[in-house]
Amino acid sequence: MNELGLMTTCELLGALDRRDVSSAELLDVYLDRIAALDPALNAVVTLDEERAREAARAADATRIAGGPLGRLHGLPMTVKDAIETAGIRSTGGAVELADHVPVADAPAVGRLRHAGAIVFGKTNLPRWSGDLQTYNELFGPTQNPWDLDRTPGGSSGGAAVAVACGLTACELGTDIGGSVRVPSAWCGVFGHKPSFGVVAQRGYLDHVGGGVTDADINVFGPIARSADDLDLLLSVLAGPAPELEAAWSIQLPPARSSTLAGARVGLWLDDTDCPVDRATGDVLSRLGDLLSAAGARVSEDRPSIGLRQSFEVYLPLVSSAASVSLGEPEASERAGNHRRWLELDERRAGLRAAWASYFESHDALLCPVLPTAAVPHDRDTPLFERTVLVNGRPVPLFETILWTGLVGVAYLPSTVVPAGFTDGGLPVGVQVVGPFLGDRTTIALAREIGRLTGGYQVPPLAR
Which residue, 182, 184, 192, 258, is CA-closest to 418? 184
Is-contact 287 366, C-beta < 8 A? yes
Give catalytic status of residue 361 as yes or no. no
DSSP string over 190-259: EEEEPPTTSB--TTB-SSTT-SSSPPTT-EEEEEESSHHHHHHHHHHHBB--GGGTTT----PPPPS-SS
* Edge-to-edge strands, sheet with 171-175: 171-175, 219-224, 190-193, 414-421, 427-433, 364-368, 264-267, 297-299
Q: Cβ contacts of residue 290 below 8 Å, gap of 6+?
A: 449, 452, 453
Catalytic residue among 156, 179, 257, 320: 179
Rounded to an integer, what distance in angstroms lies between the CA atom of residue 415 and that of residue 456? 14
- Cα-to-chain-centroid distance, residue 20: 30
- Our answer to whether residue 155 is catalytic in this structure is yes
Phi, psi of 248, deg, nearest 5: -115, 150
Which of 23, 90, 129, 155 is catalytic? The answer is 155
Secondary structure of residue 110 in the 3-state scheme: helix
H-type alpha helices, 240-306: 278-293
Helix (H) or strand (E) holding 275: none
**Rounded to an integer, what distance in angstroms lies between the CA atom of residue 458 and that of residue 463?**
6
Q: 179 an active-site residue?
A: yes
One-letter amino acid of 54 = E
Closest CA to 42 of 369, 375, 377, 371: 377
Contact 258, 238 (CB under 8 A): no
Whether 229 and 9 have beta carbons less than 8 Å apart is answered as yes
Instruction: Report how many helices (DSSP H) and strands (DSSP E) the chain contains, helices first.
Output: 13, 15
Say which DSSP state 44 is in: E
Cα separation, 44 vs 162, in Å, equals 7
- Give the residue from 180, 208, 213, 218 showing the smallest Cα distance to 92: 208
CA distances for 435 relative to 186, 341, 353, 446, angstroms = 25, 24, 11, 14
- Residues carrying an active site annotation: 80, 155, 179
